[in-house]
Amino acid sequence: MAKKAPRRTAERILAATLELFNRFGEPNVSTTVISAELNISPGNLYYHFPSKDELVNTLFDQYEARMVVLLAASDDVRDVEDAWFFLHTLFELIWAYRFLYRDLNHLLSRNRRLETHFPAILMRKKVALRTVLDHLMGGEPRTPEETASRDAIAASMVVLLTYWLSYEYVLQPRTAMEPENAQDALLRGAYHVLSLLAPHLDTPRRAHLQALTQAYEPALT
């Protein structure tokens, strides 16, 4: 059986950096800490990534590329079960790069790339969630009032997606960001985002949503 090729140094650096950023927060992780974690010299680290911002930007580019692909799948959401899976998958990606959300205000204040690109991601999320709303609410809105209402719901869903992990962190600052707590946190997030939609669904879809979430009820409290 052929051995797997060892990961390139740059890939190892990115993987270790993402893990450290996610666990301790980007402001609390220096390039010295990263090189020590990998047992490489700071010079070797700087050869691949000349600054900490280069690491942040490369990880953000990975996240952005994956998010764009995922949001495009919103057009395939046709029922409540699809919506549940779509939102949970969104939260899984947010969790995988949770340092971006945990340290969002700090990063936006000092990183020009995130300052210019992150708002565009939020707008993409809003468009994708409007698509989901339209599919689950019987097609395009018929009046300007319906359009405004759906836009407001989609914006509220984006806010919850963006700040849900921060809410979890405030409630449990010592444990919320630990991997063993991820599944329950993501289930709660998906449930609360869908709850914004629930009052606007017809009776069969509301019943479907209630039945779907009952299976996860212990994790949702």
- pLDDT tens for residues 132-146? 999 988 878 888 998
Residue pair 118/61 in contact (Cβ under 8 Å)? The answer is no
Question: In which band, very low, low, confident or very high, does the pLDDT at 3 lie, cut at 50, 70 and 90?
Answer: very low
Distance in angstroms (rounded) separating the CA atoms of residues 30 and 32: 5
- Domain locations in the chain as residue ranges: 1-50, 53-220
CATH class of 53-220: mainly alpha
Nearest to 187 by CA among 165, 170, 171: 165
- Do the Cβ atoms of 33 and 16 come closer than 8 Å? no
Are 1-50 and 53-220 the same fold in CATH? Answer: no
Residues 95-129 pLDDT 10s: 999 999 988 999 999 999 999 999 999 999 999 99
Q: Which CATH architecture describes the domain 1-50?
A: Orthogonal Bundle (1.10)
Contact present, 58 and 36 (Cβ < 8 Å): no
Check residues 193 and 178 and name the one with the higher pLDDT. Answer: 193
The answer to whether the beta carbons of residues 17 and 51 sit under 8 Å apart is no
| pLDDT-wise least confident of 73-77, 109-113, 125-129, 185-189 | 185-189
